[in-house]
Chains A and B, each alone.
Chain A
């Protein structure tokens, strides 16, 4: 047995166990952490497939950004377990229905014979000097440049939409204008008044 196949089985084991634990865990924070472990195992499997750019990007985007926001939301949540359990059985029939459809789809697709090694051929092994990122960049910025730009514009629209959602009403929060604060001069804040002191006679 090759050493890389041992690594494959180790990472696959972690991948499967952590994804099962992610679903069955009652604690939301633990479930999110198991999801992170799943991402790491998937990234390790991709590294074994010589897709190092994709593997690192998976960790950078999903573990480094998306899951941090998940953890952020979980921290804000009210973790009252009884309300979570009360809803559970109500969605069970629908959940079973959806999962049967998903499983059926996957079985149909994977058994269609499109993914056999006989169809695609064994991918060739590259040596250490082969640059994965250059190959991806060449495809992305030449052949698929329009879909790529379209996706970028779509994301930009999503960002603008999210920001306008927040700013749709006039904000009631009090804001500081920092440049105004920094540029303030003594004469804007202070008025020199010359008041004549009253003499002792007048005040009587």
Chain B
């Protein structure tokens, strides 16, 4: 069905050797990705409030619709009709550019995510590097928001969170290097394919410490509690978002949640076998769970990590800024570098649970 749709678009727009038709097809693929993503993001805010509510013995949102299920839409409409306030003497162009620069990379990284066997928008040969490159562009949203607001607290929040994001990008980069060394590929698709064959073949076993480091790094990169010093409402009011209202703020908010979903997805792809079923190669269970589609396993594992975000947020108090930095430079960085040498030795000498 998809192939016939592609052919009919090519017949409809025959100019430039089908180049224009390819652009239209890419646009359709992008829309097919973004709409579920927005719905997922909207219901993630609902799930977050419910989960944290139950952990704190409250009931969470329960007024709009049955069980409060329409709450995300109520929030969206509230955001859309709010007034956008520009601080005096702020640079309006840069002020409005900042949320866009935060939002666009958060969506663009999804282009290379493999959702199943041969089920992706782009099978880029350097997709892991692409993820890191585009992910690092997201910092500009925070830098510019802090600078263009022409206000004290946003500048402070932007300064300390950019320093933090750059530092933890290093750590995540090193963790990804270990995965690349084992999989001997920088293609996300290949990394997942190499993990085929049940829960014992996934990379979380040989790279267990790296997985922990990656997840903590992911919490910092997405500005989540207990590392949410960008906002830090008890210290610097609302951090970079102080001066933002209405849709510009909503863009920051959406970017944060898209990044959260993406980091959960990346953790699954790198360490938990992507779309592979955990029961592959196990005699009886493999047949029982034969009917479950690949996409279900991927989203199921991803949902666990999304739940982990809420769980951690409800459990831990916020870290102090210098302690997060110490954790990065004095603990995680040496640990990852040592582990890179260990993995290099193991791959060279052919020891270990991988091939």
Chain A residues close to B by CB (< 8 Å): 1-4, 6, 27, 29-30, 33, 36, 52-53, 56-57, 59-60, 63-65, 68-69, 71-72, 74-75, 131-133, 178
Central interface residue in B125, B159, B162, by most chain A CB within 10 Å: B125
A1: nearest chain-B partner, CB-CB: B16
Is the interface on chain B under 10, 10 to 19, 20 to 34, or 35 or more residues?
35 or more
Query: Chain B residues near A29 (CB, 8 Å)?
Result: 91, 94, 144, 147-148
Given contact pairs A65-B166, A72-B143, A133-B125, a sample of 9 additional A-B residue pairs in the complex whose CB atoms are under 8 Å apart: A33-B97, A56-B129, A56-B130, A56-B133, A59-B136, A63-B133, A65-B136, A133-B126, A178-B326
Chain B residues close to A by CB (< 8 Å): 16-20, 22, 91, 94, 97, 124-126, 129-130, 132-134, 136-137, 139-140, 143-144, 146-148, 155, 158-159, 162-163, 166, 169, 186, 323, 326
Q: Is the CB of A75 within 8 A of B137?
A: no
In order of increasing CB-CB distance, the 3 nearest A-B pairs are A3-B19, A64-B136, A60-B133
Query: Cα distance A68–B166 when bound, in Å?
Result: 8
Query: Chain B residues near A178 (CB, 8 Å)?
Result: 323, 326
B169: nearest chain-A partner, CB-CB: A64
Q: Is the CB of B136 within 8 A of A63?
A: yes
Query: Chain B residues near A52 (CB, 8 Å)?
Result: 124-126
Q: Is the CB of A3 within 8 A of B16?
A: yes
Query: Chain A residues near B169 (CB, 8 Å)?
Result: 64-65
B148: nearest chain-A partner, CB-CB: A29
B22: nearest chain-A partner, CB-CB: A3
Q: Which of B20, B94, B129 contacts A60 (CB 8 A)?
A: B129
Central interface residue in B163, B166, B326, by most chain A CB within 10 Å: B166
Query: Chain B residues near A33 (CB, 8 Å)?
Result: 94, 97, 144
Q: Is the CB of A63 within 8 A of B126?
A: no
Minimal beta-carbon separation of A167 from chain B (angstroms): 14
Q: Which of A36, A68, A132 contacts B126 (CB 8 A)?
A: A132
Q: Is the CB of A68 within 8 A of B19?
A: no
Q: Which of A2, A53, A60, A131 contacts B136 (CB 8 A)?
A: A60
Query: Chain A residues near B91 (CB, 8 Å)?
Result: 27, 29
Q: Is the CB of B133 within 8 A of A75?
A: no
Query: Cα distance A178–B320 when bound, in Å?
Result: 12
Query: Cα distance A99–B186 when bound, in Å?
Result: 41
B186: nearest chain-A partner, CB-CB: A133
Minimal beta-carbon separation of B321 from chain A (angstroms): 13
Q: Is the CB of A53 within 8 A of B137?
A: no
Q: Is the CB of A131 within 8 A of B125?
A: yes
Q: Is the CB of A4 within 8 A of B19?
A: yes
Q: Is the CB of B137 within 8 A of A64?
A: yes
Query: Cα distance A56–B132 when bound, in Å?
Result: 9
Q: Is the CB of A75 within 8 A of B130?
A: no
Q: What are 27 A-B contacts defined by CB distance under 8 Å?
A: A2-B17, A2-B19, A3-B16, A3-B17, A3-B19, A3-B22, A4-B19, A27-B91, A29-B91, A33-B94, A36-B140, A53-B126, A57-B133, A60-B133, A64-B132, A64-B137, A64-B139, A69-B166, A71-B162, A72-B143, A72-B159, A72-B162, A72-B163, A75-B147, A132-B125, A132-B126, A133-B125
Q: Which of B18, B139, B146, B166 contacts A75 (CB 8 A)?
A: B146
Q: Is the CB of A6 within 8 A of B140?
A: no
Q: Is the CB of A53 within 8 A of B94?
A: no
Q: Is the CB of B20 within 8 A of A3?
A: yes
Q: Is the CB of A59 within 8 A of B134?
A: yes
Query: Cα distance A36–B137 when bound, in Å?
Result: 10
Query: Chain A residues near B134 (CB, 8 Å)?
Result: 59
Query: Chain A residues near B326 (CB, 8 Å)?
Result: 178
Minimal beta-carbon separation of A119 from chain B (angstroms): 29
Query: Cα distance A4–B16 when bound, in Å?
Result: 9
Minimal beta-carbon separation of B332 from chain A (angstroms): 15
Query: Chain A residues near B97 (CB, 8 Å)?
Result: 33
Query: Cα distance A129–B97 when bound, in Å?
Result: 37
Minimal beta-carbon separation of B83 from chain A (angstroms): 26
Query: Chain B residues near A131 (CB, 8 Å)?
Result: 125
Query: Chain B residues near A68 (CB, 8 Å)?
Result: 136, 139-140, 143, 162, 166
Are A64 and B126 also in contact (CB < 8 A) when A2-B19, A75-B159 are? no
